[in-house]
Structures are given as structure tokens and as C-alpha cells.
Structure 1
Amino acid sequence: MNRQLKVLFIGTYVPKECGIATFTSDLLNSVSEKYNDVHCEVIALNDSSETYNYPEEVVFQIERDKLEDYYRAADYINKSDARIVCLQHEFGLFGGNAGDYIFALLSGINKPVISTMHTVIREPEPDYRASTEKLIRYSEKLVVMSQTAVDMLKDVYKAPEDKIEIIFHGVPDYPFNNCGKYKKMLNLKGSPLVLTFGLLSKNKGIESVLNALPDVVNQYPDLIYLVLGATHPMVKKTQGEVYRQYLKNKVSELGLENNVVFHDKFVEKEELCNYILASDMYVSPYLSREQIVSGALTYAMGMGKAIVSTPYWYAQEMLSDNRGLLVDFGDTDSFKKSLLYLIENPEECDNMRKKAYDFGRKMTWKNVGKEYNNVFLKALKNHSAYPRTPNRFNFLPNQLPEAKLDYLKLLTDDVGVMQHTNLGVPARHHGYSTDDMGRALVALTQLIDNQKKAEEFWRLITTYMSFLEHAQTNTGHFHNFMNYKREFLDEKGSEDTLGRAIYGLGHVVSCPYLSKNIRTLAHTLISKSRHEMKNVSYPRAKAYTMCGLYEILRAGIGADEFESVFNSSRDAVKPIDTLVDKDTFECIFTSHANFLVDLYEANHKEDWNWFEPTVTYSNAKLSESLLLAYNYTKNRTYREIGLATLDFLTEIQWKGDFFDIVGNQGWYSYKGEKPIFDQQPIEAGYLTQAYVSAYEIVREEKYLELAKYSFEYFLGRNRLQAPMYDYSTGAVCDGLNVDGMNSNQGAESVICFLMALSSLNKHTNKAFNTTLQSRLSNELDDGAMQKRKSLLSVNQVE
């Protein structure tokens, strides 16, 4: 509590022409000017078409309807040294239903939030009720500006009383005065001068005053009614100047051209105060009772004006005890009588002004700033004593789900697994891909731990094997895409396609529960690809190939194991197809590993522990392949680079309680900005596999814990707290987009889920019984990456 208090305000901000922007600026100044040890900064909200030259205290900007900006703002707040967040809440400030985009920000931070509520609705629609209840839940303190708002929060929304603070809307501190000095300064006429000010919209009810004026000006022809303010920007955007023109037409109809003046301008605070001080009376003819606060009415009271107002909630409370006159909504006759009463009873009028002014001393910005500062300190103390660290992921299960193949079977026909779906229904026009067949073989073979399961999966495995055998070209490469008419659509697939095929076939070869015939066929297809495998140049293709070959090498399976089956198969005996021995596979395997080492050495930097200048797709597979290379060769260079790059992926994606996967909207380049969306579940699946491999190789328990958390990405441990896995069907959504989940459920997503599940399944009990998160967080924060980097000079074989 002794160090400087840093407050981060969220709201619209000057020079934006908006009442809340002015309020935020005044509040910031009142807090920072009063206390030298308080430092204030601002996150400003804009519409998409707006660009402002903000003052230096604005450190971050949110585009109102851009959900991703709210997530980025949360990240900014978490990294900043701000200790308090002060939110200006008005539903229309934020995008989404009832302004619910703001909860993408609030749900992602763990700093005390003080919410100033500029609107509270007594009879809310469901969206507005839900939004208000969320705001109450995420706020340490709720600041409202009237007792009416306090009562509504408690009665309607059941807000805890100890969360609610009442602090009046602030006003500038001017001495009680007569109007002549300011009329002269502004060259204004009017005896009396009646004022209504604020952004113009239909809810202002100005026509009620206009209808009352003819009888008044008949008796007092020097009266001027000044309507000060520009049309509300949102009204102007959608409706233009329809309301202003309606009012002008009414002035003409009533013959009030000499008595009504429109100043169509947004005035800065100092000029606005001069206009208020120049006026004799202030009229607030709002048409809606549900007005919980009015800055205009507050300013008029604080400057000692005689006030006539409709009885909206705020006015009823503020103008009690004869601090102003209340007239019914749209009651022309009452407006006329009230104006005449004030003009004709100057002593009563002056008494009313003094009462309003005296009450307004409680509301000067100096006092308001002091009260906010007290609330900040109370909230900070309470937050420190009882830190609000709710488990955002308390809906997660305490055990792994069972491997459910219903959905994979739904996608699989007698050709193979269909690539894509339309909202969970197989989309046949997208056809099939070798990529999916290879990965599906990995998932299925990893799930087989006994002969019964091998028999259960036999049909799926033989179907996928049949597809790969058909997809292989004469050179040993593979076609990738096949349409629903069983026609291949390419001459050959990408190098990644080749690698993914080898990845799956290697797992088939090494699975002891499968028949020797199908394992021999897998070995044969890999052998046929030996020249293509040697010549791949893309890093991920090499990594996939290594993962497939590792399965054969680690199991010590040589060509001789399959020779008898191979030789008895008349169709398989072709010179090009002779089975390749283990030494050839080993040569390709180490060559690819050395390539990845060289790639890392060429691209990594002190603050960029990665193989390339950009983190793109299938990232963890690169790290895992080197870890597997170490496990086979015991070359420590492979191990250290594998761990260093895996730790780097953790560093840039682990948020302390969930993984924030690098999105594919532009990828993540060195010195660039990490894209948040679209996040692909394949990355979480590959991370899980890589962490499990790291744990099995180096036995550091943090990797097992990370594997659990990366797997739980599918179950809802993600930025959107959105479960992607459907327990009833076994389907998995295709990604996280800025506006929510991608509800399509393609083959890649469910296959990668099953791959991750099968990897983690081997360590289920240990993963779910350890409680390493706090230790994990500390380890990741205390320089683990530096430790890895210091070991990279070691290049020896154990």
C-alpha cells in the first residue's frame, strides 16, 4: 500500500464528444490532481470510424465492435503494473448483446475492478439483466450516483450491499453568482435566459417546453430558450437531423423564432460551464422515467440554477427538499406554470437556487475524487486480503473422458474418413484426404493396448490403410485430396502429406496387436517412399516423417521381420518395393534431425527460441520430433533444442491458467503481434503429445501438468472458456473464432483430440492427482527459458 497507486480507467475519453468521455476525464483529473501518489492511465473506447488524437494518458484503444480488442486489452492489463481498474459502464459503450463484449475483458483479468454504473434498469430485458448480473459478479465495487440506483441493485439484482458505494456525479466548483457577468461574456440575451443542454435525441423531450412557451412569452417577450448541444453521434448516424428539424419546424409553427435559439455544437467543459452560469433557469424535460443519472442536471444544481424537470428517478431524488420543481412527463401546462412561478417569485426562485447550490458542494470534483480514492484503497485492501482468484475453469471434469469413436465412425465410409462437416453432418462434397488417414492411424494405434481393441478397430484401420495404399503414387509419394466420386484431385500432395502418411504408417508397423499382414503392408508403403522421404525440404514434413520412423526404430523392427509375409505376397514382389532395412530409416531420421538443428541455429535469437522467424502451424510437432530423436540417439543437442523450443511455445501460449494458442490470422512473427484467433484444436492436440513425450524422456513433472492443461483446452480450458468436445457424440469443434466456436466438426479436430487423449491416457492417474500449477507457474516465471538456452552449447552423445 506504500507504493504508488496506479489506476487504469476504461471508458470513452476526450476529445470524443460524449458525456461519459468528459466524465472519465474529469474523474481521472480529480483523482490524480488530489493525490500525487496516484498515477492514472486510460483504455479508450472508439467506434470503427473514429480516430482521435488522444492525450498521453491513453495507453490502449478498443474498437467498440471488435471483440478481439477486448481480449487484447485484458492481456495488456495483466502485463501492466496497474493495481486498480475503474470501468465506466454504460451498455451502449461496448459491443455485443447489451454490451457483453466487455466481459471478454473482465473475465480475463485478476485485478480489482471498480465499476461506475451510469445506467441501472429497473425492469430489464433478459440480455440486460444477464449483463448487469455479470458486471456485479466481476466487480469488486459498484459505484452508483443515487440512492435509487442502490435500492435497485439490491432489490432487482440482489447485489451484495457491501459491494455498492454511492458517490455523486462530479461538478466543477464555482462560486454562487448572478448571471449578468457571463451573459455579457458570451454576448447572450434573454431575460430570463432558460437553458437545456446536452447531446440532442428524442428522449430529451424539448417539444414539451416549446409547447409551453407561447403563453409564457406573451407575458415575458424577452425570454430566450437556448437549446445547446450537437445531435447525439449515434442518432445522427442512424437518423440524421430528423429530430432537430422537427423542433425547428415546431418553433416556426408556434411563432417562437425570436425566443428559441439552437446552438448546434458540442462545447468543451469550460465553455459549457460559462453557458450554465449565464442562464437563469435550467429545464430538464426528459421523457423517460428510467434515467438513473444526469450529468446535465448535476451541473445545473452544482452551479446554483433554478431547475424545472420531469420526475425521472435521478431528478426526483436530487430535487427533493425544494431544490427544484417537478412536472409530469409531457405536461405542457405544468411547464408553463412552473416557468411563470419562477419568473414571478424571485425570492422563492433565489431560495431554490441556494438550496441546489449548497447540496452541490457535496458533488464537487474535489470531493468526488477523494471518495473514489477511498473506494480504490478499500477495494485494493479487500482484494489483497481475500484475493479474487475464482477458478474460471471449475466446470472441468476431474478425470479424462473415455475414448469415444462414435463420431469418427460416423465420418468414415468404405473409402475413408470424410474431411469436413457442415454443423456436424458429413459434407460429402469435400471428400477425403491422406492427411486425415495418416493421423487417424496414429490415434487408433495409440488407443490399442490389447488384442480386443485391435479387433474392435480392425475395420477402421484397414479402411484407412486401404486409402493410403491406393493414394500412393509410383514414386512413393501420396495423393492428398480425393473427391466423393473417388477421383484424386492432385498429381501429388504436399511434403506435409507425405510426412503425415509416414507418421501413421510408422505407428501401424510398431503396433504389436495388429496382424502381421497389415503391419507388413505399412512397412512396404514406407519402404516405397524412401527416396521421397530423403528429399523432403519442409521442416514439418521432416518432423512428421521422423515421428513415423521413430516408431519403427524404437521398436527395433527390421525388414527381416516382415520378409516371410512380403515374399509370400505375389502382388507385392516388385524390385522397387523391396523392404528397407533399419539402417536406411535411421539415416533419414538423423538427417532430418540435423536439418532441424541447423534451422534452429540459423533462426533463434535471445528472445526468440524457435526454428523459424514465424510460429505457424503444427508447431509442437517440430519440438517433439527432436525429443524423439534424442530418445533414440541420446544426442544431447536434440534434447536441449527440443526442450528449449517446447518451452518457448509454452512461454508464448500459456497464460497462467489456460493455453492461448497462436491463431492463424497472420501467424506470429518475430517482433510482431501474436494473433489471438482463429485458434485450431490441432495445435492443442500436438502440444499435449509433445508434453507427454517430454515427460517420458526427461521425467520433469511440469510437462505432464502442461499436457493435462493443453488437453483440457478441448474441454473448455481456453480463452473463451468454451468446451469444444461433445461428450455425447465424441465430436470436436473446428476452432475458436473471435465470435465464438466454429461449430463445424471436421475429421482433423476429432482425430487430434483422440491423439492427445491416447497420449495422456498412459499417465491418467498421475496427471490428475498432481497439484503442480503454482510450482509450474513459478518455474515458468523464474528463467526456465534462460536455463535451457545456457545448455545449448552442449553437443555430445551420451
Structure 2
Amino acid sequence: MTTPILPQRIAFLGDYLPRLCGIATFTHDLSEAIAAAAPATDCFVGAVNDRPERYDYPPRVRFEMQEKDLDSYRRAADFLNFSNADVLCVQHEFGIYGGQAGSHLLALLKEVRMPVVTTLHTVLREPNAAQRKVMEELVRRSDRVVVMAHKGAEILRETYQVPDSKVDIIAHGIPDMPFVDSSCYKAQFGVEGRKVLLTFGLLGPGKGIEHVIEALPEIVRQHPNVVYLILGATHPHLIAHEGERYRLSLERLAEDRGVKEHVIFYNRFVSLDDLKEFIGATDIYLTPYLNEAQVTSGTLAYVFGAGKAVVSTPYWHAQELLADERGVLVPFRNPAAISSAVCGLLDDPARMEKIRHDAHAMGREMIWPAVAHRYLESFQHARADRKAIPRTAFAGWTLENRPYELPPLRLDHVIRMSDGTGIFQHAIFNVPNFHEGYCTDDNARAFILCSMLDELGGQPPAENLGRLATSYLAFLAAALDYKTGRFRNFMSHGRQWLEAAGSEDSHARALWAAGIGAGRSRNDGHSRLSAQLFERGLAAVTDFTSPRAWSFTLLGIHEFLRRFPSNTAISAMRVTLTGRLVALWNACSTEHWPWFEDSVTYENARFCQALIFSGQWLPDPAALEIGLKSLRWLVSIQKTQSGCFRPIGSNGFYQRDGARADFDQQPLEAQAMVAACNEAFRATQDSSWTREARRAFEWFLGRNDLGLPLYDFTTGGCGDGLHHDRVNENQGAESTLAFHLALAEMNCAEHLTTPPPHNS
């Protein structure tokens, strides 16, 4: 029997100390344990940063990625390929990577050439659509996946159809702590002679600590010497959004319940050595978490393996670890059950001692040296299972696989065109034209762009993006006449509205933007205001006759229902508007004219996109097929013999049985085609749609009738159209936003549309 050859170089990817989070601690401990278990192996780390100023990392960290910068993931893949890593070990948690549901990680995984072993710290039984897509792609691009409990493997099998043969169950690693009496550690904390209850970890509302405090009066009545130690800093992301509100609420609750002398808050992220001493002083550990769907808890593993009695709510990891009376499970949100369980253990020292011994014995299988050995076996398995020899770094970089690099984001001209009121409509060359003022159409598009960029991350800095988004949303709020429920459109430079109500199309674009703000914004104020605008403005659409307004509204409804899926009135409106578009198609389309109207005019692909969305989400297979069929025809009539995108021109458009206008070509058409084709790919997984999306996007960059780029790389602006002999050099808001929205669409889709690696 030959001895397996260990990997020469192992790369780890995830958060890393000194960043304060559980994943950072895990990545550190795992990489150190494997480095100790395989001293001849070069172990190095790629760290994910959540702030621009980075961290003071130790030498083991050899490359870094900015959480929200998509390009940094591609650069990291290049680094891994050139460093000839034999295995990549990824720590996955949805919240630590950029993009929708952490989708930026996929941009790296599609490029790396070595076997990938991914540790899933969260496995969702009921993912939303974005989480499901990311998880399925993540599993597909991983050679092995590791979960820390049997429940995780069960969910992978039942929810994501992952075969058991691809899954390794490896316990959460823990430090090797001796079985000792808690009295040995209490004096140094000044709690000698007292019974110590402990909860530790980053603080946040999901921890359920308030229910333990509610239980304390009864516990203290029966055992007056009890003290409850709450150890850990508030989660940094929670601090950024709401400060210490949760901790302060706990402190007030302890005072209100008369137990403030029995509660100790230690607001620190402690080192491992200090943590061992806190655990050593503990008599009973409490995890009163509120959510069953937690498949891994590092804090539970640490304390359990140290041989401590545990009282826990029955989240999945606790159910598994504390089975067979290795701990005590209590119902969620039940202070009476917590006090009964704690007092029951304190009243029965013999029972508590048996629980401790059983936990410590089982914990020997979880210490880091044992876990490192299991991971090395998984790495070996991944390398043996690789069906094809890993490609070298450049072998897959043909134009077929990497047609071009997307331009970097440059919002200079968007910022130049914006002031405290909103974004100006027009420009003279690259200079804002104050005389033409503002319009709701463009401020809606600008707000949509900010929402998409906030999900994608990267540049500009979050504070700049937030300021721009606030201005554009404030414009939309001012545009709505609350008495009539209609959005106005045109505003002068002097901030005077020039009409009582805008067009149906402009009203619907405002609803689209409000729907995106309601459904996607991570700013609570933006989300709530957007929802209010959406609900106030939606009723007017009932009387609209513009099919494009119906389509824009459907796009907004889709976004709104992402966050509020149970809103029956808005769901009913989706059914109504979808039915109107389908009826329009049935009344107008023929075999040779598969379209909704007797003319093909402007922003045409939005019809198709709206029906593709509705067809998927209602679901309505007939609507989906109409959306795809009409889009195929639109693609066919907007393509030249040389293979470039040629949108219907605005100088006459295209009438049934008439000649089509080839010019002037508008950026809005290319952007709509990019969005619709990318959505068609998501609905069908047919890669031909990604090629059409790229074709339409390349129109901006010079793959067009004149071979001239409309996008200006020096200013970040986009020309207002393509004439028969030249580019319109004025860089207005509509055109510039069309380019940047198309670029955002391409970046959103890019990591989900590349062909899978050869071994998949």
C-alpha cells in the first residue's frame, strides 16, 4: 500500500485574524492546525477585507481581496494559479463575500485551476432564489464540500441534490483543554464561591440573551450565588448600523428585572488563551439562540469539547451535539424552561458531572489535530477525484472563454452630472446643461444604478454611493404628488415642476426604481421610503394604456416582492399586468411578426424581460415562452451580417411591413438588450443568451456599424447616440446611465455565465 503524497501547497480563503469574526478565527485555527499536521506543506491564506484600510495580517496571509471589489476576486484567482497551489480550501458564509448572496466568490472559483474543498459554515434549508443559485454554483465548482454536522449533509442532499459521496462531515475544530474543576479558574475573575453561567461570542439580537436575563430572577431565587457572564464584543457590522443598541437593551433589562448584580458584561473579543480561562471558570454554558436553522456553532463546540454542561435552544448543531443527554435542550424563547434547566443541573451535581464527562470524551474527536487529519484526507480525496489534469494558468484564457475584460467602473461623469437636487438630464459634450434641468426618468435610472452598485460593491466608496442614492431617491419622493398618486417628470434648474403629471412611462420608471429600493436597499430608511413611494404610486397604473409602462411596473413589482412576497395586492397587480402583455401579444403577433405592437420603437427588450420575470415567478409558462420567443426575434432583427448589434433606429423605428430605421441608434436599446438577455440566460441556462448580452454590450465599446466607441474611457460618460456618420458627442444622463447600468448587469451576470471547468 502506497503512502498518500501530501499537497505541497495548500491555500486557504476566508476572513482572517485580526479581523473580529468567527470565520476569521476558524480560518486561522484550521490553517495553523494543518500546517502543524503537515510541516513540509506550504500553507498560506487569502484574506477577505471588509474595510478599505485592511488589517495588520501575519505573514501567513499572502494575498488579500476587498469584499465588494469583484476585480480583486479575479486577481486572487490569478495569484492562486501562478502560485501553483495544489488545493484551495474555501470558508463559505453568505455574508463574507461581496455581490448578491456572496456571488463574487464565484468569479474566483470559475478561474482557479486546482481542486477546491469548500467548508460550508451555513447550509440553508429554505434559501431565497439568489442564495440557491449561489449555493448550487458553489457546490458545482467545488470538488468536495465539508459540513460540520450530519444535518448539513442531509440538507445538501434534500434541498440541493448533492450526493453524499461529495460531502465530508468534519466536526468544528476546538482547542485541546483538560477536564478540570471550574473552581481552579474563578479566583482570577473575582467570582470564587459563585456558580458561573456563560454565553460568549459576537453579540447580536439573534443570540437570544434577553431570554436568559428574563430567566435569571427565578434562577437567582433558587441559587443566589449565580452570576451570568456575557463575554464578547458587539458584531462590528451591527456597531456600524445601530451602535450598542442591543447591548444597552440587555443592560436595561437586567436592571428592570432586579438582577444587575448577577450579570457581568465583558465587551471584548478575547484571545484564545484568555477564552480558555473564561471557559475554565464556567459551570453551565448557555446558547439561547433564536433560529433553528444554524448548522454550525463554533462557540458551542468550544465549550462542549472542554467538558462543560450546556443548556441550549434546539438549533440544528445543538440537537446533534447534545443528543443522548450530553446536554439539556430547551424550547426557543422560553425563559421559564431556561431557569428550570439551569436549576435542575445546579440541584443535581452528579448528573451535571456525568454530562461533563460525556461531552469531554466526545470532544477528543474534535480537537484541532484530529480535525486537521480529516481535512488532509478530504484534500487527498479531492485531488484523486479530479477527473481532468488541472489546466495551467493560461490554457483556458482563449477569447472563447474570456472574450474581453469588462471596463473598470468610472462614475466621474455621473458625479459631474449630479448635484444636491438630482442628476441633470442633458450635457453639452461632457458639461452638464443646466438649461434643461432634471427629470424623474433619469433620477430613477440613477437610483437603480446606485442600488445595483451597492450590491456589487467596489468603487465608489460606500459613503459616496450612499450620498448619490439619497439625492436621487429624494428627487423621486419630491416628484410624487401624494394627492393624485402620480409622479411628475420635468423640473427646471430652479427646482420648479413643469407639469402636473409626467408620462405613463416616466411614472412607471419611478415605480421600477422604488421597487428596487424597497426590495434591495440595505439602508433601512431608503427601503422604507421606497416601499412607501411604490405603494402610493402603484394604483395609478391600473388606468395606464402604455405597454411599456406595464413592463416597467412589472420589473418594479418583481423587485418589491423580493422583500415582501406576501403582499397580495401587489401580487395581484403582477397577474393583471402580465395578462395585459400576453393579451397584447396574442392580438398582434403572427408567425412573421412575433411582436406586441405594429411597430418596434424604443426600449423594446423590456417587454421580453418583464414576461421572462413574471413567467418564472408567478409561475406562468406561457408568459415565459412569449418573453423568450419575442426576445429571440428581437435579437434576430437587431444583428448585422458582420455580427454586431444594431438596435432599431429612432429616426422612424420599424413599422410592420415597412423598412426599419438603422439610425439614430440609442444606448438605451443596448442596455435593455443586455438586461433581457442576461435574464433569459438565468431562466434557461442557455449560453447563447450570454453571447447576445455580450454582443449588445460591445456596441458601447465600438463593435457597431461605425466601429466607434460611444463610451468615453477618459470621462466615464457615454455619447447620446450613433448617427449614420458619427457618434453624438453630448454625454447626457440617459446615455451615460445606460452604459453604467449595462456594465453593472454584465458584472452581475459574469460570474454566473462562464462555462464550467472541464472537470465539472
Using structure 2 for the length normalisation, give the TM-score: 0.54
**Structure 1 match to 2:32:** 29
Q: Deviations over 1:306-342 (max 9, x none)?
A: 0000000111111101010000001111101001100
Indicate which of 377, 380, 385 corresponds to 2:380: 377
In structure 2, the CA distance between the partners of 1:85 and 1:743, relative to structure 1 (3 Å rule), is: farther
**Structure 2 match to 1:69:** 72
In structure 2, the CA distance between the partners of 1:2 and 1:159, relative to structure 1 (3 Å rule), is: closer
Matches within 5 A, 1:598-677: none
**Structure 1 match to 2:557:** none
Deviation at 1:48, TM superposition (A): 2.2
Q: Deviations over 1:155-192 (max 9, x none)?
A: 00011322111000001111211011111244434621
1:127 correspondence with 2:94:
no
Asked if the contact 2:177–2:276 (Cα under 8 Å) also holds between the matched residues in 1, the reply is no
Matches within 5 A, 1:374-773: 374-383=377-386, 387=390, 723=690, 725=692, 732-734=699-701, 747=722
Partner SS for 1:335: helix
**Structure 1 match to 2:94:** 91
**Structure 1 match to 2:19:** 16
CA distance in 1, matches of 2:161, 2:196: 45
**Structure 2 match to 1:313:** 316
In structure 2, the CA distance between the partners of 1:351 and 1:3, relative to structure 1 (3 Å rule), is: closer
Deviation at 1:147, TM superposition (A): 0.3
1:324 correspondence with 2:291:
no
Deviation at 1:229, TM superposition (A): 0.2
Q: In structure 2, what residue type is equivalent to 1:321?
A: D
1:279 correspondence with 2:282:
yes
CA distance in 2, matches of 1:35, 1:123: 38
CA distance in 1, matches of 2:249, 2:358: 36
Range with bigger deviation, 181-190 or 229-238: 181-190
Asked if the contact 2:147–2:169 (Cα under 8 Å) also holds between the matched residues in 1, the reply is yes
Deviation at 1:302, TM superposition (A): 0.4
CA distance in 2, matches of 1:299, 1:155: 29
Deviation at 1:729, TM superposition (A): 8.0
CA distance in 2, matches of 1:47, 1:751: 44
Q: In structure 2, what residue type is equivalent to 1:94?
A: Y
In structure 2, the CA distance between the partners of 1:388 and 1:82, relative to structure 1 (3 Å rule), is: closer
Deviation at 1:37, TM superposition (A): 2.0
CA distance in 2, matches of 1:320, 1:331: 20
CA distance in 2, matches of 1:351, 1:187: 27
Asked if the contact 2:6–2:380 (Cα under 8 Å) also holds between the matched residues in 1, the reply is no
Deviation at 1:394, TM superposition (A): 12
Partner SS for 1:362: coil
CA distance in 2, matches of 1:294, 1:63: 26
Q: Deviations over 1:653-677 (max 9, x none)?
A: xxxxxxxxxxxxxxxxxxxxxxxxx
Indicate which of 188, 213, 216 corresponds to 2:216: 213
Asked if the contact 1:733–1:746 (Cα under 8 Å) also holds between the matched residues in 2, the reply is no
Q: In structure 2, what residue type is equivalent to 1:734?
A: L
Deviation at 1:256, TM superposition (A): 0.8
1:357 correspondence with 2:360:
yes
**Structure 1 match to 2:145:** 142
Asked if the contact 1:46–1:61 (Cα under 8 Å) also holds between the matched residues in 2, the reply is yes
CA distance in 2, matches of 1:73, 1:39: 18
Deviation at 1:65, TM superposition (A): 1.0
Q: Unmatched 5+ residue regions in structure 2?
A: 402-424, 431-642, 644-676, 679-686, 703-710, 728-760
Deviation at 1:78, TM superposition (A): 1.3
In structure 2, the CA distance between the partners of 1:395 and 1:49, relative to structure 1 (3 Å rule), is: closer
State which structure, 1 or 2, has the greater radius of gyration over its C-alpha atoms: 1
CA distance in 2, matches of 1:721, 1:184: 70
Indicate which of 241, 245, 251 corresponds to 1:242: 245
In structure 2, the CA distance between the partners of 1:392 and 1:231, relative to structure 1 (3 Å rule), is: same
CA distance in 2, matches of 1:143, 1:333: 37
In structure 2, the CA distance between the partners of 1:2 and 1:170, relative to structure 1 (3 Å rule), is: closer
Q: In structure 2, what residue type is equivalent to 1:283?
A: L
**Structure 2 match to 1:157:** 160
Q: Deviations over 1:434-492 (max 9, x none)?
A: xxxxxxxxxxxxxxxxxxxxxxxxxxxxxxxxxxxxxxxxxxxxxxxxxxxxxxxxxxx
**Structure 1 match to 2:258:** 255
Q: Deviations over 1:319-368 (max 9, x none)?
A: 10101000000111110100110000000011111111111111010100
CA distance in 1, matches of 2:123, 2:259: 37
Deviation at 1:378, TM superposition (A): 1.4
Asked if the contact 1:194–1:283 (Cα under 8 Å) also holds between the matched residues in 2, the reply is yes
Q: Deviations over 1:20-47 (max 9, x none)?
A: 1111111011101011222100000111
Asked if the contact 1:726–1:732 (Cα under 8 Å) also holds between the matched residues in 2, the reply is no
Asked if the contact 2:118–2:142 (Cα under 8 Å) also holds between the matched residues in 1, the reply is yes
Using structure 1 for the length normalisation, give the TM-score: 0.51
Deviation at 1:724, TM superposition (A): 6.3
Q: In structure 2, what residue type is equivalent to 1:226?
A: L
In structure 2, the CA distance between the partners of 1:258 and 1:45, relative to structure 1 (3 Å rule), is: same
Q: Deviations over 1:736-762 (max 9, x none)?
A: 999xx999996599999xxxxxxxxxx
Asked if the contact 1:734–1:744 (Cα under 8 Å) also holds between the matched residues in 2, the reply is no
Q: Unmatched 5+ residue regions in structure 1?
A: 398-426, 433-684, 686-714, 753-798
Q: In structure 2, what residue type is equivalent to 1:732?
A: W
Range with bigger deviation, 742-751 or 133-142: 742-751
Range with bigger deviation, 242-251 or 40-49: 40-49
CA distance in 1, matches of 2:342, 2:132: 39
Partner SS for 2:27: helix
1:301 correspondence with 2:268:
no
Partner SS for 2:699: coil
1:342 correspondence with 2:379:
no
Partner SS for 2:359: helix
1:7 correspondence with 2:10:
yes
In structure 2, the CA distance between the partners of 1:338 and 1:35, relative to structure 1 (3 Å rule), is: same
Asked if the contact 1:724–1:733 (Cα under 8 Å) also holds between the matched residues in 2, the reply is no
Asked if the contact 1:203–1:288 (Cα under 8 Å) also holds between the matched residues in 2, the reply is yes
How many aligned positions are there? 440
In structure 2, the CA distance between the partners of 1:112 and 1:742, relative to structure 1 (3 Å rule), is: farther
Deviation at 1:303, TM superposition (A): 0.2
Deviation at 1:18, TM superposition (A): 1.1
Partner SS for 1:61: strand
Asked if the contact 1:725–1:733 (Cα under 8 Å) also holds between the matched residues in 2, the reply is no
Asked if the contact 2:208–2:290 (Cα under 8 Å) also holds between the matched residues in 1, the reply is yes
Q: Deviations over 1:557-612 (max 9, x none)?
A: xxxxxxxxxxxxxxxxxxxxxxxxxxxxxxxxxxxxxxxxxxxxxxxxxxxxxxxx
CA distance in 2, matches of 1:224, 1:109: 51
Partner SS for 2:31: helix
**Structure 1 match to 2:55:** 52
CA RMSD of aligned residues (A): 3.8
Asked if the contact 2:10–2:85 (Cα under 8 Å) also holds between the matched residues in 1, the reply is yes
In structure 2, the CA distance between the partners of 1:729 and 1:273, relative to structure 1 (3 Å rule), is: closer
CA distance in 2, matches of 1:56, 1:192: 42
Asked if the contact 1:84–1:114 (Cα under 8 Å) also holds between the matched residues in 2, the reply is yes
